[in-house]
Amino acid sequence: MKKITLFLFVTFTYYDGILGSPNILFIIADDMTWIHAGIYGCDELKTPNLDKLGEEGVVFENAFVSTPSCTPSRSSILTGRNSFELEDGFLLGGYLPQKFTTYTELLERAGYKIGATGKGWGPGILIGRDVNPAGKPYRAIRNNPYQDLICDVEISDVDYAGNFNNFLYDCERDQPFCFWLGTHEPHKGYTRGFAATQGISSDDVTVPGFFPDAPEVRGAISEYLAEIQHIDTQVGKVMDVLKKHGKLENTLIIFTSDNGMPFPRVKSNLYEYGLRMPLIAWWGDNIVQGRRIEDLISLTDVAPTFLEAAGLTVPREMSGTSFLPLLQSDRSGKIREGEGKVFACIERHGHQSSYPARSIRTDMYHLIWNAATENPTIAVDGGPIKDLLQKGKDEHSYYYDLVFGIRPEFELYKVQEDPYELNNLAADPNYKDELNKLKNDLFEYLKKRKDPRMSGGEMIWEYSPIWGLYNQNLNYSPETQGQDMPASRIKEIMIENYRKRGYVQEYIDKVLERLNNNLE
């Protein structure tokens, strides 16, 4: 009789160190100021799904971005670092060098399934990375829910819930996931008349004190609010998908935005309406529900929070601090001891819009340092409000000066009393001590975190290679966000366009040197 030996090979999937770790769903709006949701007191629109998230979760009253501009804000969220620390990742349309590790990479190494839909990291080009830092894109499912209501609606046809549903089917049954859901709303452009179809009247909107109360302003704000209502509907659909897959019980959901309203003196400006974001956390019965937390939070804190929740070590180079202890507390109001501080920064918004500034926000004060007051201020993104102020410069001179006028090197605001930041106290002798203290705290922090502007290294941003590509209207789909373009092709187009625009070879060589160093 012949003896037969059988070898049985069994493959086990073991998610090392993260068994029992939460799923993570990160929902990020595009250009939404904190105040524009029912849970934050806005009654000019209806946001029942966001309100329910807040009522069943935790609402953060004072959350701030590192930079009020899409690409750098998303870079800082993903890396847990100040935008000024990220070299080319600090620039709209730049790239995030591969040496800066993201929380998505760390979670993936630990066994998490990573994915994204809608607007991920960007706009920008991926150089040295195989996939968008937010995660592998899921964007095949499309749907225009308003096609029978209004023609040529500007709202994205990306079916956020449908793509999230596909992603969940791609996960192993017991594998934890981290999914980035980036809405394209309420970024401009807007569909004229869409607000009226959504029950929002321009007569009812609140006009911030830094804008004139004019029909053009009211109209733009109402269309912006209508797109937030669209986001709210998508949030409800996403929650339904989680329920369908039985994933609600242990999913940590964070809702926020990348910067404020896409209007002058807001987006890309270091004022309250540009920096302050909605931040809602939902985690079912894992946290004490219905709380509102007043501690100052930077969105650089998101990455360390996700990593700590997953049981992973937070890298020392991250400037953010996990707010997981605040989520796990049973308290409301101010929880951390001592005065809170958050920091913000901007260099430019597009190649021509250079207005470097830094700021420090405490519980009571906000100090802004304008590092190049001779430069024109940043006023985005075109549209009726900007047109109104430029064409009506004389009629609306006060508001024109707020947006386009020369600003002093330092601006100091007492934000609780002056939420629109209209009364600069920097020259008031009664606030001299507070001004000097905040200046000292700001510059000490910038030096500690090695802001290149503190050491004369700000030319690093002048030699970012992306401007030869991003600003040339090459009709390269922003949805791909660069992941399919070879580095050699990027260099070829970049050099060609720099030469067409009259850049000298010495400058081009410096740009190529920076790029090549980051690719090594």
Please name each of the domains of the chain with its CATH number.
23-284+294-331 (3.40.720.10), 344-457 (no CATH), 467-519 (no CATH)
**Does 1 score more than 60 pLDDT?**
no
pLDDT at 518: 82
Q: What is the pLDDT of residues 253-285, one digit of tens each?
A: 999 999 999 999 999 999 999 999 999 999 999
Are 164 and 179 spatial neighbours (Cβ–Cβ below 8 Å)? yes
pLDDT at 367: 99
- The band of 434, judged by pLDDT with boundaries at 50, 70 and 90, is very high
How far are the Cα atoms of 89, 268, 498, 503, 514 from residue 469, in angstroms, in the given order? 15, 21, 9, 14, 15
Q: Mark residue 188 as left, alpha or beta (left: phi above 0; alpha: psi -120 to 50; beta: remaining).
A: beta
* pTM, two decimal places: 0.94
* 157, amino acid identity: D
pLDDT at 45: 98
pLDDT at 11: 36
**Does 84 score more than 50 pLDDT?**
yes
Are 491 and 512 spatial neighbours (Cβ–Cβ below 8 Å)? yes
Strand order in the sheet with 136-137: 136-137, 113-118, 177-182, 23-29, 251-257, 276-282, 58-64, 291-298
Furthest CA-CA distance within the chain: 106
**Does 6 score more than 80 pLDDT?**
no
- The band of 353, judged by pLDDT with boundaries at 50, 70 and 90, is confident
pLDDT at 515: 84
| Better pLDDT: 467 or 43 | 43
Return the axis-axis angle of helices 302-309 and 70-79, rounded to nearest 10°. Answer: 30
Would you call 485 helix, strand, or coil by DSSP? coil
**Does 14 score more than 50 pLDDT?**
no
- What's the rounded mean pLDDT across residues 369-373? 97
Are 60 and 286 spatial neighbours (Cβ–Cβ below 8 Å)? no
**Does 243 score more than 90 pLDDT?**
yes
Q: What is the pLDDT of residues 496-509, one digit of tens each?
A: 888 888 889 999 99
- What's the rounded mean pLDDT across residues 123-149? 90
pLDDT at 326: 98
Q: Which residues contact 221 (CB under 8 A, 6 or more apart)?
A: 202, 205, 206, 207, 261
pLDDT at 7: 39
Are 457 and 447 spatial neighbours (Cβ–Cβ below 8 Å)? no
- What's the rounded mean pLDDT across residues 436-457? 97
**Does 397 score more than 60 pLDDT?**
yes
pLDDT at 152: 84
* 112, amino acid identity: Y
**Does 42 score more than 60 pLDDT?**
yes
In 3D space, the residue among 46, 29, 60, 3 whose CA is nearest the CA of residue 295 turns out to be: 60
- What's the rounded mean pLDDT across residues 398-425? 97
Q: How far apart are CA 506 and CA 347, in angstroms?
A: 23
**Does 346 score more than 50 pLDDT?**
yes
Would you call 357 helix, strand, or coil by DSSP? strand
pLDDT at 232: 98
Strand order in the sheet with 365-370: 341-348, 354-362, 365-370, 410-414
- The band of 10, judged by pLDDT with boundaries at 50, 70 and 90, is very low
List, as one string, the DSSP characters of 152-184.
Answer: T--S--B-HHHHHHHHHHHS-TT--EEEEEE--
| Better pLDDT: 486 or 102 | 102
**Does 484 score more than 70 pLDDT?**
no
Q: How far apart are CA 413 and CA 402, in angstroms?
A: 14
H-type helices in 449-486, by residue range?
A: 467-470
How far are the Cα atoms of 98, 227, 263 from residue 47, in angstroms, in the given order? 38, 11, 22
Q: Point out the least confidently predicted range of 36-50, 53-67, 451-465, 467-481.
A: 467-481
What value does the mean pLDDT of the chain take? Answer: 91
Q: How far apart are CA 169 and CA 171, in angstroms?
A: 5
In 3D space, the residue among 271, 276, 269 whose CA is nearest the CA of residue 420 turns out to be: 271
pLDDT at 5: 41
**Does 313 score more than 70 pLDDT?**
yes
- What's the rounded mean pLDDT across residues 331-348? 96
Are 223 and 216 spatial neighbours (Cβ–Cβ below 8 Å)? no
| Better pLDDT: 123 or 396 | 396
**Does 482 score more than 90 pLDDT?**
no
- What's the rounded mean pLDDT across residues 354-380? 96
- The band of 472, judged by pLDDT with boundaries at 50, 70 and 90, is low
Q: How far apart are CA 498 and CA 204, in angstroms?
A: 48
pLDDT at 501: 81
Cross-strand partners of 142? 158
In 3D space, the residue among 236, 237, 230 whose CA is nearest the CA of residue 141 turns out to be: 237
Are 296 and 65 spatial neighbours (Cβ–Cβ below 8 Å)? no
- What's the rounded mean pLDDT across residues 95-103? 95
- What's the rounded mean pLDDT across residues 157-174? 96
